[in-house]
Each structure stands twice: as C-alpha cells, then as structure tokens.
C-alpha cells in the first residue's frame, strides 16, 4: 500500500531532522486512529527497519545516484523502498509501483521517473551493489563510523558481535510478579495459552516469539511486566531488606521501581524530572497493586525536595546515551553525536555527586546506565571514587561471570540488552 510507504518515509524524515521515532509513530497513530493493526505493524516495520539498516540502505543509494538529490522527501522515500527490497519479502514490483505512486501523494510527480529508475536499476544490479556496500564498515554494520570506531577501541574482541546484536530484533522478556505467581507457574500458564517461553534466571521469562501485550496472560491483572532481562538485575544487585528507606532517582517509566517493590516491602520514593513519564510510573504501580511516593523533581538538585533523612539504598538509573538499547530504538544511533557522550557524562557526574549526599552510613547506591560506552560507565565510577574517599565499590552479587569480567558492563546478546552496574557503599 503506497500510503503506508509514504507515511513511513515521513516518519524517517522527521527522525532524521531530530525527532524521536517512538514519538513520531505515536503522532501517526493519533492522526490516523482508524489504521488497522496490520497496517500499523507494516508501517512500524518500514520505519524501524529503514533506521535499523540505514547505513547499508544509504550505501546502496549512494551507489545508485549519479548526482545529489535536491529534495529530502525523495531520499526518504527511496530509503524506505530500498529497505523493503533488501530486507523484506515484499514483492519487488509492488514496492517499486507503490514508491512511484507515493510521489503523487508527496506532491512530487516529477520524481516518478527518478524513483522508478533507481529502484529498477538496483534490482538489476542487486548482488554487485550489495557486495560493494558490505566492503565499507558503515554499510556492513549499519552504524555511524564514529560509533563503530569507539566500540572497536573500547571492545576490540567484542565490537563485531555488539554491532550485530544492535541490528537484531530485540527479545520480548517478561518479569513475573513474585507477589502474584512463581516463574514455574507462569511458564505453565504461557504453555497452556500456546506461547512458548523459557526462564532466563531470577524472575525473567523470554518468549520464543513476540506477541502483543493484549495476548500476554495476566498482564492487565498485574501478574507480569515487560522488562529486559539485564534491566531486571537491578533489584537483586541492590540487596533490599524489609522496611528500608529507598530512593529511586530518575525513576520513569517505572520498571525498576515496580521490581524493587515486588521484591521487598520498602519505603520508596520515586523521583523524575518528567511529569508525564511519572504518570506512567503511577500507572504501572496501579496495575501491579503496588505503592510508592512519587515526586516531580530533579535528582541533581536534592535540596529542593529532600527531607533531610538519609536513605539506606539509592537506585541511580541515570540518563545516558542509551547505546546499549539501540536495537529497541534504532533512531538513537543516527541522532547521537560524539560530543553527546561527554554531555551525558557530565550530567551523570552531577547526579551521582548529589545523590551521594543523601546516602546514610553503610548505605548502598547502585549506579545504572543502559549504555556500553566507558565514558558513562566504568570511567565515570573510577572518577567518582577518586572524588569520594568515603566510597568503595562492591562486587556485584550473583554468578554473572560476564559482568565480573567487564567490571559491571553487560554486553548485549540474544537474551538481553546492554547495561552497566556499579554497586557503591558509603563507609
């Protein structure tokens, strides 16, 4: 359907101008509430897929064009169509025909012959063009070159696998609410519903195939939540005990907040700077039958909201580049710039220093990012320890050898995203 192709090209264009992919898709759903579930899924695949493999798609486009394009709308339409031709099973003649027809909808009738010529020429030279594109790193890995270079420098043995996993479809992992069910009981319930799944450890259950949330047994009743397996490690690393006073800084959208409360009866305050996202925290807690105090506030400025009583545990899930979750958000790798990493690191430093003042003697602070860049992770913690002589880094509990080998850095793989954890204790 050419209209879906046109909408996808609009979404890609908005993302490349700086907008969030999720926000753009939500805007489309609001403007077009009558789109069927099937059409929504198709549109989402076109937008996500084009951005996931944009490096290769742009490599193909560069080989096919004799001169630079004057209109970015044509570029985005060609990007979407080339994604479909290279990475999907869509009928090639239909893809080309829809792209040509979409020119009228975009008000670009003069571009029809160009669109038709580029796509048909690609189909004739497909194998040779794709082979040439794969000889470049940006084409082979579909990431910006600076990102590839940074990962190679920091992870010379692992960077190829990291880039490959970053272009894969993410797993759908659930967190079983231990207050409502056991993992074994819930897996049995999934099996009875015809959904294959396997246990990943702790409360994590990974589905063999993704299904809509509406089809997940017990979701609306609060028996499970959707949460990546690596993100679920926060609750066990923080070593909670009943009645402890706990602060969840930068809490939205609330997955870790809820998990902490599922694990122990603690007195918890969840803080976030985004009032709308705090509403999502409350919505999650309500669905799960849990309670926490919520505060719309800045974790880096505790004097504006702190009551002066120290916390026994602090979860500092700080803002970051999100470089460990790009397979869920492929727009990130194209929107980030190298100097963004240093800006995130500076913000993280301010939050970490501010929160340390709120931690009681012998209390523990768990520093968390969903990043794989060392500037935000191990380098950040080493600098923190140099500034704060009353802090010591503890070993992370559990048999996670890959975490210990990389000093708290969890690299993305088939079962989880990339995360970083550091457990600090105040002496």
Q: Could you read off the pLDDT of 163-176 as tens digits, one per residue?
A: 999 999 999 999 99
Tokens matching residue 211? 């299904």
Tokens matching residue 340? 């963004």
| Contact criterion met (CB below 8 Å) for 365 and 392 | no
Instruction: For residues 409 and 371, give the distance between their C-alpha atoms in angstroms, rounded to a whole number.
Output: 9
**In CATH, 2-142 is 1.10.940.10:** yes
Per-domain boundaries in the chain: 2-142, 173-226, 233-426
Q: What is the mean pLDDT of residues 298-311?
A: 96
Q: In the sheet that 204-207 helps form, which strands lie side by side, from edge to edge?
A: 197-201, 204-207, 173-176, 224-226
C-alpha closest to that of 425 among 239, 266, 194: 239
Q: Could you read off the pLDDT of 365-392 as tens digits, one per residue?
A: 999 999 999 999 999 999 999 999 999 9
Under CATH, which number does the domain 233-426 receive? 3.40.50.150
- The pLDDT, as a whole number, for residue 241 is 94
Tokens matching residue 267? 């007195």
Q: Could you read off the pLDDT of 13-63 as tens digits, one per residue?
A: 999 999 999 999 999 999 999 999 899 999 999 999 999 999 999 999 999
Query: ∠ at Cα 181 (179, 186), nearest 5°?
Result: 150
Can you name the CATH fold of 173-226? Answer: Alpha-Beta Plaits (3.30.70)
Strands 267-272 and 245-249: parallel
Q: Examine domains 2-142 and 173-226 and report if their fold is the same.
A: no
Q: Could you read off the pLDDT of 254-295 as tens digits, one per residue?
A: 999 999 999 999 999 999 999 999 999 999 999 999 999 999
- The pLDDT, as a whole number, for residue 400 is 54
> Looking at 103, 263, 320, 370, which residue is catalytic?
370
The DSSP H or E segment spanning 426 is strand 419-426
CB-based burial of residue 47 (10 Å sphere; 0-12 exposed, 13-18 middle, 19+ buried)? buried
Q: Please report which confidence band the pLDDT of residue 403 belongs to, taking 50, 70 and 90 as the band edges.
A: low
- Is 370 considered catalytic here? yes
- The pLDDT, as a whole number, for residue 399 is 56
Name the 3-class secondary structure at 209.
coil
Q: Helices marked H in 266-337 — which ranges?
A: 275-288, 332-335
Q: Could you read off the pLDDT of 207-261 as tens digits, one per residue?
A: 999 999 989 999 999 999 999 999 999 999 999 999 999 999 999 999 999 999 9
3-state helix/strand/coil string of 326-358: CCCCCCHHHHCCHHHHHHHHHHHHHHHHHHHCC
Query: ∠ at Cα 226 (222, 228), nearest 5°?
Result: 140
- The pLDDT, as a whole number, for residue 68 is 86
């Amino acid at each position: 359907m050419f209209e879906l192709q046109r909408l996808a090209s609009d979404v890609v264009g908005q993302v490349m101008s700086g907008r969030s992919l999720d926000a753009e898709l939500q805007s489309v759903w609001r403007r077009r509430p009558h789109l069927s579930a099937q059409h929504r899924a198709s549109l989402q695949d076109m937008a996500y897929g084009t951005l996931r493999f944009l490096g290769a798609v742009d490599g193909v486009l560069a080989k096919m064009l004799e001169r630079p394009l004057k209109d970015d709308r044509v570029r985005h339409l060609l990007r979407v169509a080339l994604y479909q031709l290279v990475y999907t099973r869509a009928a090639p003649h239909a893809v080309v025909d829809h792209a040509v027809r979409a020119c009228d909808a975009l008000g670009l009738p003069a571009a029809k012959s160009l669109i038709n010529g580029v796509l048909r020429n690609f189909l004739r030279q497909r194998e040779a063009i794709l082979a040439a594109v794969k000889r470049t790193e940006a084409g082979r890995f579909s990431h910006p070159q600076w990102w590839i270079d940074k990962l190679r420098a920091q992870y010379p043995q692992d960077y190829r696998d990291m880039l490959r996993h970053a272009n894969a479809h993410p797993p759908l992992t659930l967190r079983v609410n231990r207050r409502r069910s056991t993992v074994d009981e819930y897996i049995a319930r999934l099996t009875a519903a015809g959904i294959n799944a396997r246990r990943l450890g702790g409360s994590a259950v990974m589905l063999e195939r993704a299904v809509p949330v509406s089809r997940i047994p017990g979701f609306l009743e609060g028996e499970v939540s959707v949460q990546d397996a690596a993100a679920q490690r926060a609750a066990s690393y923080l070593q909670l005990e009943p009645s402890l006073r706990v602060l969840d800084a930068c809490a939205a959208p609330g997955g870790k907040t809820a998990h902490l409360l599922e694990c122990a009866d603690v007195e918890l305050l969840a803080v976030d700077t985004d009032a709308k996202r705090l509403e999502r925290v409350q919505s999650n807690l309500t669905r799960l039958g849990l309670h926490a105090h919520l505060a719309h506030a800045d974790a880096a400025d505790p004097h504006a909201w702190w009551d002066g009583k120290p916390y026994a545990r602090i979860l500092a899930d700080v803002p970051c580049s999100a470089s460990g979750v790009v397979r869920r958000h492929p727009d990130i790798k194209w929107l980030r710039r190298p100097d963004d990493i240093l800006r995130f690191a500076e913000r993280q430093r301010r939050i970490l220093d501010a929160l340390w003042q709120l931690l009681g003697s012998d209390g523990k602070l768990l520093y968390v990012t969903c990043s794989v860049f060392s500037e935000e992770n191990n380098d950040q913690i080493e600098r923190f320890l140099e500034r704060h002589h009353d802090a010591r880094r503890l070993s992370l509990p559990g048999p996670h050898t890959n975490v210990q080998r990389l000093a708290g850095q969890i690299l993305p793989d088939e079962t989880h995203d990339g995360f970083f954890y550091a457990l600090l204790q105040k002496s």
